[in-house]
Structure 1
Amino acid sequence: MMRFKPSVLTLALFAAGVSMYSHGAEEAVTAKSADEAVKSQDAKAEDQAIEVIQVTGIRRSLQESQATKMANSSVVEAISAEDIGKLPDVSIAESLARLPGVAAQRLDGRANVISIRGLGPDFTTATLNGREQATVNDNRGVEFDQYPSELLNQVVVYKTPDATLMTQSIGGTVDMQTIRPLAHGQQTFVVGARGEYNDLGALNSDSTDKGYRFNFSYVDQFLDDTLGVAVGYARMSSPNQEERWQAWGYPELDYNANNPKVLGGAKPFVRSSELQRDGVLAVLEYQPNDKFHSLLDLYYSKFDDQQLLRGIEIPGQWGAGWGNSGITANKSTDGLVTEGTINDAAVVVRNDVNTREADALSVGWNNQYQINDSWTVEADIALSRANRTDIGMESYSGTGRGNGNGATDTLGFVYDGDGRYQFSHNLDYADAALIKLGGPFSWGNPVGPDSQDGFINKPEIDDEIKSMRLAAEYMIDAGAIRNITFGLNYTERDKSKMDQGFYLTLKDYPAMITVPSQYLLAPTSLDFFGMGDMLSYDSLAFYNDGHYIETSADSVDLSRATNSWKVYEEVTTAFVKLDLDTSIGDMPLTGNFGLQAVDTDQSSDGTVASVEDGKVVKTPISAGDSYLEWLPSMNLSLEVAEDQVVRLAAARTLTRARMDKMNANVNFSYNANPSDGVNWTGGGGNPELRPWLARQYDISYENYFADQGYFAIAAFYKDLENYVFNQNSDFNFGELFPDVPGNPIGNISQPQNGNGGYVRGVEATVQLDFGYFAQPLEGLGMYLSGTYNESEVKETADSEPSTLPGLSEKTFNATLYYENSGFEARISSRYRSDFLGEVTKISLQRENVNIMAETVVDAQIGYDFSESGIDALYGLSVLFQVNNLTNEPFISYFGDDKRFVRDYQNYGRNFMLGANYKF
């Protein structure tokens, strides 16, 4: 540990309130040692006649986070709860996004996944109490909105690893930590409730713009403070509304020599969602003596998201000849048609529904036993399980079945300057006699001509991680090496995706039908882009009542046949770490040297699919690989002056490949008479995909000039040994089909380990309490951080550089707060520049798109009546919060021209008013 000389207050806070895990080996301050530390500091305060002021709220949170950063041998950032059940923000991801080098990507208006040091969610590992978490998405990245912030005590981001970090990653590791009841040291009960409101209103008549949050936590100690118990529950029903402009793309309009680009088509809609989440936490801690410590923790969450999406899909230039008779351009500006008319236009009126049901379970049991003054042994077992079931339903209606049938409209459009368009129209799209159920376009023929009246996706994800760790620590009495830690960690992970999709055809086909009255709803307004009201109905109820014929997509669609997969991993890690405690002259030097040997056995079950006689034929396939990687690490901290430290770190790090790219699936086609002599072509996953590897180097300077004040600047360089690209390569189809005709060597496109590159950057952080400089400014403070990143990654040495997903060149965070005499106010802003983000596309698949720079501002104000002097109100606090105060949109775009907006999402503001009571 560092030989910093923190104040009495900081030491007491750190001992009593911070739950320090050593990457899953709970090295937290125990109940007795915490109590002794506090008593010792109280005694020192009395001896030194120092007045220890009770610090609460954001200042306590910042002090504890600073203490964690100071004490850790690695380069870390931390967020600490202001009180039990109260992290500084309404979600974990939003709190994380305020840390230097960390940026969040929003989903449906809420922060969802994060990037660390310019590396996206694929390069970030998340743990709960040091244990890797199963995930509900197609990959390994944790969606942080599934974890209630009310049930967490602290979150630590490890930017540099050591050998005892079993879940290291090239970007970083995020460890979410729950409370330790014995370290907490007193009986506490907290209950809180908040109401929530979205200022866009209920955009769909069957939705709500109001929600609520409720939580309680109970912590207690029994049997002479040898048994500790903590339980917590958090319930959230959060509304979200969205006005969404979505474009198909921008092809050229060939009407004169200039060839300006024009809107290819659009799918604008309004979305109303209600996210319900229940989280439960239980911790049982037992320490009967100074030698034995046992900790059992359980976390469970259930996550239900119901989304209603209603809008009108409008073919533009790409619809000429089937969706309309062409576009007349009235005005173009700088190569873009900014005013025009879509002639003889047909549209699709869409009443879509997305639902997601997901749950996650995490159980861990850790035991430590001190054999003697030199030896301590540890055993840890854990289970993490997650599953997800989605429904993504599309329901079509219009004026006639198939291309060229039914009433058409003349649609005018005007570019409004921010990437969206305003339309004018003549038809009444809310008229139930005009707009009827059925497919207006010839998009599919599952049971006959023009018979696609909708589509439904039903993907399911199951993920399970089982782990066991055995470790021992040997203390050394003298010398520069303080102790040696070594052990073995074993992990099994099974993840599968079952992707089902069905074409929907009305049972009344080929007729189009009027929406039955029992399903009709009040019209939905599309005034935000000028199309007035549209016909609205309960499409999911209509589907559930059996009005559609379902045709499995994987029987006729080759790509759908290879969307399902299973991936298995067995990872055995042997590790050793030497902790250093010495000095260079009169400068203390601490840190560690370590090594991991990581042995991996991976495999996948998948499908080989081809089309024969118009039908998809599927054959099972299994494949895999095994490998061994050596990962050395070093962390050194030199205290160059009192409370000033220079840190140096170097490591070889590993991030496992995306699980959805490790599948064994192959789809192919056979050409008997190819012009290039290649009979076989196809695409698929790669079960032999190796992990991303990097050699990384860090240097930082940290100056801790006050309990709640420090300055830090850091630089890092990550030398990527390889990267994963989709590449074409030779594939021996003769191994799959021994009797194949023609040349068995064909071409296949699949993810492969290609050339590497680098990521580098600098970070700076300033934390100030202005009361340190002048007493009248007591309680006023700020927290500022900024990061600059750059990268270069190439598929081959001669290829052009690729953009790294998640990398924003610049990120800035600023928080200004005032906290005094129970009153608290703060405003926070986070900025990230343009980046390549991952979003959902058709059939709930994922794709990378360009995301525009954004600045998100949140604010809150509150009062703690414990400072009021009114005994009856002691423990009561009230809080008012506004998320997305400036109503910042989320915008993605095509190519380099930001006028070519792909998606413009307007979320509005969410207001929350609530109260907490603690006793």
Structure 2
Amino acid sequence: MRNTKISLAARLALGVSAAVLMMHGSALAQNAPADAAAANDDMQEIVVSGFRHSLETAIEAKRDASQIVEAISAEDIGKLPDNSIAESLARLPGLAAQRVDGRAQVISLRGLGPDFTLTTLNGREQVSTGNNRSVEYDLYPSEIISSAVVYKTPQAGFTAQGLAGTVDLQTVRPLDYGKQVLSASARYEQTSIGKLNSDSEDKGYRASATYIDQFAHDTLGVSLSIAHLNSPTQQETSRVWGYPQLSNGSYVIGGDEVRANSEEFNRTGIMSTVQYKPTDNFTTSLDFFYTHYQDYQWQRGVEMPLQWGNGSAIGAQPPVALLPGYTTVGNMITSGAFSGVKAVGRSDEGSTQSDLYSIGWNGRYTKGDWTGTLDAGYSLADRTTTRFESYFGTGSSGSSGATDTIGFTNVGTNEAGYQYTHNLNYADPNLIKLTDPNNWNGGTTPYAQNGYLNKPRVHDDLYSLKGDLKKDFHEVAFLKDVDIGVNYTERNKEYYQPEWYVTLTSNLTAPVDPLTGVRGASAAIPSWAMVGTADLSWIGLGNTVAYNPVELLSRGVYSLVPCGQYRANCTGDSHYTVDEKVTTAFVKADVDGNLGSVKVTGNVGLQLVHTDQSSTGIAVSTANSAAGVYAPRTQGIAYNDLLPSLNLSFVLPNPDHQIRLGAAREMMRARMDQMQANLAYSFDSSKAGYTGGNLNNSPWSGNGGNPYLKPWYADAVDLSYEYYFNRAGYLSLAAFYKHLENNIYNKSTVTDFTGVTSNSTAGSSTNLGYVTVPVNGTGGMIEGVEAAFAVPLDMVWSKLEGFGINGAAGWTETDLQAGSQGVGSGNSSLPVAGYSKWTEQGTLYYENHGFGARVSVTHRSGYLSEQTGFGQGREFDLAVPETLVDAQVSYDFGEGALKGLSIVLQAQNLTDEPVITYYNGDTTQNWRYEKYGVRYLLGASYKY
């Protein structure tokens, strides 16, 4: 209900503001023809800084663009309006951010998730550290980005384009900036939750510096920026296993994974540009960007098999039982207790280390009416992630270790889902042991699984070379210029994930347990490995032990057993590469003319795109009897595409009013992990005698990627109306429609297994079987309406000088479903990942006499969120609506000895909004709960 009220309030504010504009627009329009020149001259003399300056710059970029765009601009050098690029982008019409580990990391644009948006840096496509093409925006320090433009419609000369749109991050051009500047900033930050793990931190800092200068009579410009961040996150998280149905028809919680997660995010970013313009007709620039980040995580807690522990006991362990006296509301058991619970304790550690490079060179030469441009770029990403799981409990599966009675109470959708009671003390080192409490490997290995380790690695590099030649036409009606060129990119993404079981070294030689069939002894936790406790009191479970599993491995308490020898709970040491070679020839004509009293500008163009894609991977047997059987394979396809585009802007007789039209055929390539050549297969020897007929009875089956995937294609139309009534004020209304020709979803496909070997294929009469892979299917549609406004409130009442409000709202409708993204069968009732029907944003600000304050609200309706799951796979769940509130107050010293100094106090997620998802479209069935608390920042910056 709270989210609904705020959503309605945002819509009401939009309507009231639009009405105010209509009342005042008539008078402004009447005066505009006679007074425009004088008014503009007066405005040029006013020096505006801070948030209003960033707003004016963004409005100017939107007004002057040849396409339908949205823009954000830095308030000053090193000062975007928000602390992250994703947060700033999420305040634009039709955009929304998804929080990952408490940070706004990825964005959805026009109802389509991160898979459908490309990101460029200074116009050059960027690689990613994940398994997809979408970048992680928290890798790009906001302090070194001067602006960002979101292109909602494509144009032929821009060769890096997504189906939803393209985000171009831009850095400062030192010669264009035109003056010397030296600035520095520092901020202290703290989270409100406190330390959930005693060896973590809840305080951090960030610092940055920028230098810009011009030399040699302003023919040589240099800029250098560096930004460092040390940011902690504390996260209370619960993840319910599901809701099995009892024989009486009621649903009950199946189990829960409760964690106290702590994180320390360290990032250092460097951006440098050298720009040289020795003559008026030649300019060249060299850009360099580098980010290094290390992310450390401590994830500690317990996993409780509740109803799903019932009847699943092994050996002497008693089954879990739902005790009588529980409470039922509707068909959901909302409170009760389970006896015989043997919790699996977790003391996990993880880390991610990434390096991202981007280098670009551009040269432009003009002679007469001709301009030639050559641009070369290189982008590289390397990422290594370590996930170390370590398990503890009262004893191994089948032993006489103590069990617990867990009471549970459902506390509502907007809370942690459940509160628990317990009897055992999970922080008692005399009770808790290193062990395998629930036989997680299912007896498929001869050793107890006391933990799990994987180290997925991503290497992604991209080369680009673009050349074009433009001819200006001065005397041809409507034809301003013609640009013809070619762009070539070559991209290689490699993914490798080695995996190991973690077992107690003592188990390697211990006798086999007759009850479980494995070597499953337990061991005390050495005192030297203990690091304190983890706090689960927020959900009623008190504290748990916390220890360092990496230290246990380094000192020989643990040993590693490669997963390649066994298959249970492993993904098969996945290893693949995807290669793309894309050549794009394009021609674009810019138009500029008049239709009566209406000025018409824009462009029309065509791209011819040739793609040659391939993947090298392995076919690996998933059967334990055939472990270690690999077969390398390389597959691929080449294809051509024609992509026309049209962008027209109609400037009405009053030039403050514009109508824009965009029409294009759009394309977005498949996720790179969907294009992998890997195949995980099995051969069922019991079906080896298959002689034909129904292939469901074939001994062959498997799942994998599809190197033959074609892109998504859409025919799109955009229409917008824009009214600019003030340098800091505008109103825009836009509508769009995309007809998708195809989509991508998972489907069981007949596959020829010829050449794939197995240890037990004797007697097989066929090499055909079903493999589940992503395929191209039929399409769908997505349509929407967007509105945005900005109003300096002194227009309404002179006494409100310095106050202003800006906001946006977007409505999107689609018939695309989760199956369209390779999830499920293609008939899933889940929405497309990242889709919210409503997105709304608003900011109320005040700036005057150096003092500034603002409050920003972003809201999105429920959506399908995407996370990284086991083995770096994709997991999806439905998230409830989310409303985030941020606030800031600042003061800039404009005169005196402190001139150039500014101080700022910020609060992020002021209402402590959690991330909540649920099962089966039923908001009473909580799935995932993550609460990050409020983040406070206090800092200062100085510019000379």
Kindly provide the CA deviation profile for residues 755-792 of structure 1, in whole angstroms up to 9, marking residues without a partner as x: 00000000000111112333321210011100000101
> Which position in structure 1 is the counterpart of 2:580?
569
Q: What letter is aligned with 2:888?
A: Q
Secondary structure at 1:94 match in 2:
helix
User: Does 2:782 correspond to 1:759?
Assistant: yes
Q: Which amino acid aligns with 1:637?
A: S
> Does the alignment pair 1:392 with 2:382?
no
Q: CA deviation at 1:50?
A: 6.8
Listed as ranges, the gaps of 5+ residues in structure 2 are 1-36, 314-318, 508-519
Match of 2:620 among 609, 616, 619: 609
- Of 791, 794, 804, the match for 1:771: 794
Residue 335 (structure 1) shift: 1.0
Query: Which residue does 2:6 correspond to in 1?
Result: none
Q: Give, in whole Å, the separation in 2 of the partners of 1:799 and 1:226.
A: 61
Aligned length: 869
Cα distance 1:388–1:345, how it changes in 2: closer, same or farther (>3 A)?
same
Within the alignment, does 1:199 sit opposite 2:192 as a pair?
A: yes
How many Å apart are 1:679 and its aligned residue?
Answer: 3.1
- CA distance, structure 2, for counterparts of residue 635 and residue 544 of structure 1: 61
For 2:604 and 2:663, the matched residues in 1 are separated by 10
| Structural mapping, 1:762-841, within 5 Å | 762-793=785-816, 803-841=831-869
Q: Is structure 2 residue 476 aligned with structure 1 residue 440?
A: no
Partner residue of 2:401 out of 391, 403, 406: 406
Tell me how far apart the structure 1 counterparts of residues 144 and 42 of structure 2 sit (CA, whole Å): 37
Q: Find the aligned partners of 1:696 and 1:584 in 2 and give their Cα distance.
A: 25
Aligned counterpart for 2:638 among listed residues 626, 648, 672: 626
Kindly provide the CA deviation profile for residues 795-843 of structure 1, in whole angstroms up to 9, marking residues without a partner as x.
7999676621111000000100000010000000000111112112223
Give the alignment partner of residue 680 of structure 2, picking from 658, 667, 675: 667
Residue aligned with 2:680, SS: strand
Shift in Å at residue 849 of structure 1? Answer: 1.6
Letter in structure 2 aligned against 1:882: A
Q: Secondary structure at the match of 1:318?
A: helix
1:260 equivalent to 2:279? Answer no
What does residue 525 of structure 1 align with? 535
1:742: how far off? Answer: 1.1
Per-residue deviation at 1:523? 2.1
Aligned to 1:270, what secondary structure does the other structure show?
strand
Give me the whole-angstrom Cα distance separating, in 2, the residues matched to 1:183 and 1:660: 41
Deviation at 1:562, TM superposition (A): 6.4
Query: What pairs with 1:701-712 in structure 2 (closer than 5 Å)?
Result: 701-712=721-732
1:683 aligns with 2:703: yes
After the TM superposition, which of the residue ranges 457-466 and 335-344 deviates more from structure 2?
A: 335-344
Deviations 1:589-645 (A, max 9, x none): 011100000100000001111236252411101100000000000000101232101
CA-to-aligned-CA distance 1:300-334 (integer Å, 9 cap, x gap):
00011101011011001111134643212511111
Q: State yes or no: 1:716 paired with 2:744.
A: no
User: Do the aligned residues in 1 keep the contact of 2:745 with 2:826 (CA within 8 Å)?
Assistant: no
Q: CA deviation at 1:736?
A: 4.5
For residues 557 and 119 of structure 2, the distance between their equivalents in structure 1, rounded to whole angstroms, comes to 44
Q: Distance in 1 between matches of 2:707 and 2:626?
A: 29
Asked if the contact 2:261/2:298 (under 8 Å) is kept, the reply is: yes
Match for 2:162: what amino acid? Answer: S
Q: Using the TM superposition, give the Cα deviation of residue 544 of structure 1 relative to its aligned residue in structure 2, in angstroms.
A: 3.1
Q: Which amino acid aligns with 1:633?
A: S
The yes-or-no answer on 1:317 pairing with 2:307 is yes
Letter of the 2:709 counterpart? L
- Looking at structure 1, the residues matched to 41 and 302 of structure 2 have their Cα atoms a distance apart, in angstroms, of 73
Note the C-alpha offset of 1:521.
2.1
Q: Which runs of 5+ in 1 are unaligned?
A: 1-43
For residue 787 of structure 2, what is the amino acid of its counterpart? A
Separation in structure 1 between the aligned mates of residue 689 and residue 631 of structure 2, nearest angstrom: 24
| More off after superposition, 702-711 vs 638-647 | 638-647
Match of 1:874 in 2: 899
Equivalent residue number for residue 590 of structure 1: 601
The aligned runs of 1:73-88 (5 Å cut-off) are 73-88=66-81
Match of 1:37 in 2: none
Q: What do residues 353-386 of structure 1 show as CA deviations (whole Å, max 9, x unaligned)? A: 121001100000000001x221010110010000
Which amino acid in structure 2 is aligned with residue 551 of structure 1? Answer: V
Cα pair distance change 1:362/1:648, threshold 3 Å:
same
Pairwise CA distance, 1:677: 4.4
Q: 1:447 to 1:900 in 2, by over 3 A?
A: closer
1:506 counterpart = 2:504 = yes
The answer to whether the 8 A contact 2:609-2:641 is kept is yes
The 5-angstrom pairing of residues 75-114 of structure 1 reads 75-114=68-107
Q: 1:360 aligned to 346, 356, 380, which one? A: 356
Q: Tell me the SS of whatever aligns to 2:175.
A: helix
User: Match of 1:546?
Assistant: 556
Matches of 1:340 and 1:487, distance apart in 2: 70
Match of residue 511 from structure 2: none
How far off is 1:665 after superposition? 1.1
The corresponding residue for 1:456 is 453
Whole-angstrom CA distance in 1 between matches of 2:746 and 2:111: 21
1:669 Cα offset (Å): 2.1
Return closer, same or farther for 1:47/1:202 CA change in 2, 3 Å cut-off. closer
1:423 and 2:420 correspond: yes
C-alpha RMSD of the superposition: 1.9
Distance 1:47 1:810, change over 3 A: closer
1:826-877 Cα offsets, whole Å, 9 max, x none, are 00000011111211222332222212110011000000011xx3x2100000
Instruction: Tell me what 2:667 maps to.
Output: 654
Q: Is the 8 A contact 2:381 2:461 kept in 1?
A: yes
Equivalent AA in structure 2 for residue 477 of structure 1: H
Q: CA deviation at 1:49?
A: 6.8
1:40 aligned partner: none
Instruction: Return the match for 1:497 from 490, 495, 498.
Output: 495
**Matched-pair identity in %:** 42
2:32 corresponds to: none
Instruction: Write the letter of the residue equivalent to 2:583.
Output: T
Structure 1 residue 434, shift from structure 2 partner = 0.7
The reply to whether residue 692 of structure 1 matches residue 712 of structure 2 is: yes
> Hey, which bits of structure 1, 4+ residues long, moved more than 4 A?
44-51, 445-450, 674-677, 735-740, 794-802
Q: Of residues 369, 374, 383 in structure 1, which corresponds to 2:378? A: 383
8 Å CA contact 2:567–2:624 kept in 1: the answer is no
**Helix, strand or coil: the match of 2:63?**
helix
> What is the CA distance between 1:892 and its match in structure 2?
1.4
Q: CA deviation at 1:51?
A: 7.1
Q: What is the CA distance between 1:543 and its match in structure 2? A: 2.4
When residues 202 and 179 of structure 1 are mapped into structure 2, their CA distance, relative to the original with a 3 A threshold, is same
C-alpha distance in structure 2 between counterparts of 1:685 and 1:47, whole Å: 58
Normalised by the length of structure 2, the TM-score is 0.90
* Residue identity opposite 2:904 in structure 1: L
Give SS of 1:260's match: coil
CA shift, 1:683, in A, is: 1.2
CA contact (8 A) 2:657 2:724 kept: yes
CA distance in 2, matches of 1:788, 1:753: 27
| TM-score normalised over the length of structure 1 | 0.92
Amino acid at match of 1:682: G
Would the aligned equivalents of 2:196 and 2:260 in 1 still touch at CA under 8 Å?
A: yes
Aligned to 1:470: 467
Contact map agreement 2:746 2:826 (CA 8 A) in 1: no
Choose from 835, 838, 855 the match for 2:883: 855
1:167 is matched with which residue?
Answer: 160
Partner of 1:891: 916
Q: Residue 755 of structure 1 contacts residue 793 of structure 1 at CA under 8 Å; is this kept in 2? A: no
Distance in structure 2 (CA, Å) of the matches to 1:767 and 1:362? 35
2:59 is matched with 66
- How far apart are the structure 2 equivalents of 1:653 and 1:51? 40
SS in 1 for 2:436: coil
1:295 is matched with: 285
Separation in structure 2 between the aligned mates of residue 623 and residue 125 of structure 1, nearest angstrom: 25
**What amino acid is aligned across from residue 676 of structure 2 in structure 1?**
N
2:929 matched to 1:904? Answer: yes
In the TM superposition, residue 585 of structure 1 has moved relative to its aligned partner by 0.6
